[in-house]
Amino acid sequence: MKAQALMISVMLASPVFAANFGSTEPPRTTPATTTVTSPKPVSTPIATGPQVTGLFRIVKPDGATVIAQTPIGVGSSVINVINVATADAFLTSGGKCAFNVKYDEVSGVAASNTTNRLFSNDTLIAQNTRIDLAANLLKTIWTQPYLVPGQNNVKIVINADSATPSVGWVRVNVSGTCGATPSAPPKTEPPKTEPPKTTPPKAEPPKTTPPAPAPVPRFTPGSAEWKNLTNAFGYSNYGVTQLKGKNFARYSELVKLNADVTVVFNAKVVDQPTYNALMTRWNSFVMDPAFQAAMKAIVPSTDRK
C-alpha cells in the first residue's frame, strides 16, 4: 500500500500528468499561416538550364514597391491569381494597361543569349532577348507587358527558343477599362409600319432592233485599191533595202510601214479602215521632200549618153 501511495504521489507531482489528468477540453491547435517571401538563391547545384522560379511581381515605376505578387505556378493545374486595377498601370491606351512586371529565373548551368516570352490568352505581350545567366545565380527580369481588362491568363516561357523551355502560369485580373471608351447601348426603335405600296404597270415603248451595220468593204488583188497597195509595198520595200545606213531620218518609220504593208500583202485581202490607214502613212512619205530626194539618189538613172 505504501508503494502504491508513493507511485500516485509521484504521478500527481508530474506537470504533464497534472495538466492533462481529468481534462475535458480538446487540444488547442494554432491555424496555419502562409507568408509570401522572395525566393532565395539556391545553395545546391541545379542540373538543368534556365528555369522560372519565385514570384510574379507587379511593381511601381521605382521597381521596388510591390503592388501585387504571387508565386508562379509550375507543373500544376492550380493558377495563382493577382488582382490589380487600371489605376495601377503606368500607361493606359486603347483598352490596354501597361504594367511594370518582375520575375525570376535560375539555371544550373551557365547560359547565354536566351529569350523569354510572356503570353496573355495566347497573345504575345512581352519579350526579353539576349539574356545571360551564370550557373546557380538568381536573375531578375524586368518587363512591361500590356494586359486587357478582365482575366489575363499569363504564360511565362523561359529560354523559349530552346528544345526544353520552362513554363509557368499566373492569372492577372485587371479591373477598370484601361482607357477604353465605353460603347453606347444600341438604340431600339419601334418597328415602322408602312402601307403597302402599289406600283402602276409601266408602259414601255415598243422595242426596235437597230439595223445590222453595213459590211466593211474589203479589197483583193485586181482592184484599184490593191494596185495602190502593191505600189506602196514595192517602193517601201525598195526604200528599206537601199536606204539602210544612208542616214535617212525617217528610216525606222519606213521599216515599220513596210512590215505592216507586207503582212496585208501576203494575206491577199485588206479591209477599208486598214487600207486607209496604210495609204495615209505611205502618202506621208510620198509627199516628204527628204524621202523624194533620198529615193532619187538611189534609183538608177535611165538617161543614156
**Segment 180-204, tens digit of pLDDT:** 886 766 777 777 777 777 777 777 7
Residue 133 near residue 43 (C-beta atoms within 8 A): no
**Domain 51-175 = CATH 2.60.40.10:** yes
Q: Is the pLDDT assigned to residue 107 strictly greater than 90?
A: yes
pLDDT, average across residues 96-100: 93
User: 3-class SS at 238?
Assistant: helix
What are 256-282's pLDDT values in tens digits? 999 999 999 999 999 989 999 999 999
Residue 170 near residue 80 (C-beta atoms within 8 A): yes
Task: Write out the three cell numbers for 262.
Answer: 507586207
Residue 59 near residue 141 (C-beta atoms within 8 A): no
Task: Write out the three cell numbers for 200.
Answer: 402602276
Helix axes 224-242, 289-298, angle to 10 degrees: 70
Per-residue pLDDT, 170: 95
Domain ranges of the chain: 51-175, 218-298
Nearest-angstrom CA–CA distance, 224 and 220: 9
Where does the pLDDT of residue 18 fall: very low under 50, low under 70, confident under 90, or very high at 90 and above? very low
What are 47-95's pLDDT values in tens digits? 589 999 999 999 998 988 999 999 999 876 689 999 999 999 999 988 9
Burial of 115 (0-12, 13-18, 19+ CB in 10 A): middle
Neighbours of 258 (CB within 10 A): 20
What are 203-262's pLDDT values in tens digits? 777 887 888 788 888 899 988 899 898 999 899 888 899 888 888 889 999 999 999 999
